[in-house]
Amino acid sequence: MNPKLIPRDIFVEKSVIDQPIIHNIRKNHAECRLHFVDHIIPGESDEDRPAIEVIDFKGKFLKPCPGTRNYICCGYQILHFGEQCSIGCTYCILQAYFSSTRLRLFANWDRMLNETKSVLKNNPQRFFRIGTGEFTDSLLLDPITEFSTLIVPFFALFPNCVLELKTKTDHIELLKDLDHRGRTIVAWSLNSNRVIFREEGLAVPLSRRLECAKRCMEWGYRLAFHFDPMIYYEGWEVDYREVIDLVFSNTDPDKIVWISLGCFRFMPALKNIIEEKYPGSDIIYGEFIQGLDGKMRYFKDIRIEMYSKMV
């Protein structure tokens, strides 16, 4: 575990002091500094200072993927258990999506489980693909929160769903002895070694991700991989082909349930953020056109080339 990923300062709403997540943080993060406050309101604190905020979440935990206007949606469901990420990928959409840079965790796990249980039980004929990696990295803070030890056995109880944990970390140790019953899929975002080195901040190297995937496979988990975003540059196809070869030489293809592909795209507002935060990155200076959803995307012929060569 890279200590740079997990801030020491943790701001906790007083209403959640007795929740299990606080007990776990105290137990696993000996160097943390806990600050108890009445309410946490984004924008009212020194948000340039790395920190974690733990709150009593008032919103809906399980919600459909927002999708992209004018494009076909995958039908994914998001289990909203936290927000933001400290890995520091240059291309991360969360930089433009959230106003606060602080990591945020939702403490009221009991309501989360009750809400999810109700949805699953009331829709027995529907199959749900549910993931926790939309607004944060699924396993980023797992070493201190132990969230996986709660959520993996919970989803093992329901035959009409699978849970996907998507990560760029090696925080898998707590998954080893859990009763998952094949209902949890462990997934890694993958990229070429060049992109990982230049653009993916504190993410673990490709070799480490595949090593962890192999271990999870040995523990009975099924796997998924996401090549998203694929970055176009001279020689990209050779580099990405190498990654594909490594995936299939380190894992059993029969244990891979899906592999997704997505070319780099970004909201126009993200360009200024990347220029300011990561002046050494050149990923925003390619050949782009604005899509129907307002996002900047590679020219169509580039996208077709990348998808056809990857498939």
Range scoring the smallest mean pLDDT among 12-21, 33-42, 257-266, 294-303: 33-42
**Token reading at 305:** 């080339």
Residue ranges making up the domain that contains 88 = 58-310
27 within domain boundaries: no
Peptide bond between residue 229 and the one before it cis (omega within 30 degrees of 0): yes
What per-residue confidence (pLDDT) applies to 71?
66
What per-residue confidence (pLDDT) applies to 17?
98
Do residues 78 and 62 make contact, with C-beta atoms less than 8 angstroms apart? yes
User: What type of residue is 74?
Assistant: C
46 within domain boundaries: no
Do residues 213 and 186 make contact, with C-beta atoms less than 8 angstroms apart? yes
28 within domain boundaries: no
- Of the candidates 78, 137, 79, 131, the residue with the CA atom closest to the CA atom of residue 103: 137
What per-residue confidence (pLDDT) applies to 2?
85
33 within domain boundaries: no
Q: What is the mean pLDDT of residues 287-310?
A: 96
Do residues 283 and 273 make contact, with C-beta atoms less than 8 angstroms apart? no
What per-residue confidence (pLDDT) applies to 67?
67
Q: What is the mean pLDDT of residues 4-15?
A: 96
What per-residue confidence (pLDDT) applies to 196?
99
What per-residue confidence (pLDDT) applies to 129?
97
What per-residue confidence (pLDDT) applies to 246?
98
What per-residue confidence (pLDDT) applies to 1?
74
What per-residue confidence (pLDDT) applies to 69?
65
Distance CA 226, CA 5 (A): 21
Collapsed DSSP state (helix, strand, coil) of residue 235:
coil
Quick: pLDDT tens for 179-224.
999 999 999 999 999 999 999 999 999 999 999 999 999 999 999 9
Radius of gyration of the CA atoms of the chain, in A: 19
Angle at 6 between CA 107 and CA 200, to 5 degrees: 115
Per the listing, tokens 């300011």 go with 276
**Token reading at 267:** 């909201």
Q: At 296, which CATH number?
A: 3.80.30.30
What per-residue confidence (pLDDT) applies to 258?
97
186 within domain boundaries: yes
Beta carbons within 8 Å of 56's beta carbon, 6+ residues apart: 13, 15, 16, 106, 107, 108
Tally of structural domains, the chain: 1
12 within domain boundaries: no
Q: Which residues pair with 54 in a beta bridge?
A: 12, 105
Distance CA 186, CA 215 (A): 11
On the CB side of 297, CA atoms within 13 Å amount to 15
Distance CA 109, CA 115 (A): 10
Quick: pLDDT tens for 146-178.
999 999 999 999 999 999 999 999 999 999 999
Instruction: Give the pLDDT band (50/70/90) at residue 41.
Output: confident
pTM to 2 decimals? 0.95
Q: What average pLDDT does the structure give for the chain?
A: 95
pLDDT at 236 over 60: yes
Quick: pLDDT tens for 59-110.
999 998 876 666 666 779 999 999 999 999 999 999 999 988 999 999 999 9
Distance CA 219, CA 175 (A): 8
Distance CA 89, CA 133 (A): 15
Q: What is the mean pLDDT of residues 123-141?
A: 97
**Which helix (H) or strand (E) segment is 45 a member of?**
none
Per the listing, tokens 């307002």 go with 294
272 within domain boundaries: yes
Do residues 254 and 211 make contact, with C-beta atoms less than 8 angstroms apart? no
Q: Tell me what percent of the residues of the chain surpass a pLDDT of 70.
A: 95
Q: What is the mean pLDDT of residues 20-44?
A: 90
Do residues 192 and 243 make contact, with C-beta atoms less than 8 angstroms apart? yes
162 within domain boundaries: yes
